[in-house]
Amino acid sequence: MPDDLLREVRRAAKETGLSLADAMRQSMKLGLPKLTEQLSRKALKPMTPEECRQCWEVPNPEFDALEAAMARRPPPPPPEED
């Protein structure tokens, strides 16, 4: 891949929060300008108060059970040093 194109893909990946590989895959489908425009974090709008209520007002037993199970898991061991 030419250096200038790789720089553009890296910039798009950073701007959108995608991995470099995901940015490459998506750019093949969308093209880099459209990828950056559609997936940029800047394009996200905050949730409305109504959307917040819909998301958090009603308890979700499945999520609560998952959250409790994950909290009970032991922490991962520290990485081994060579």
Shortest CA distance to 9 belongs to which of 42, 31, 41? 31
Domain ranges of the chain: 3-43
Q: Which long-range contacts (CB under 8 A, 24 or more apart) does 31-35 make?
A: 32/8
DSSP state of 59: -
Q: Whole-model pTM above 0.95? A: no
End-to-end Cα spacing for the chain: 34
Say how many C-beta atoms besides its own lie within 10 A of residue 56's C-beta.
Answer: 10
Shortest CA distance to 14 belongs to which of 5, 4, 22? 22
pLDDT by residue (tens digit) across 10-66?
Answer: 988 888 888 999 888 888 777 777 777 777 777 678 889 999 888 888 888 999 999
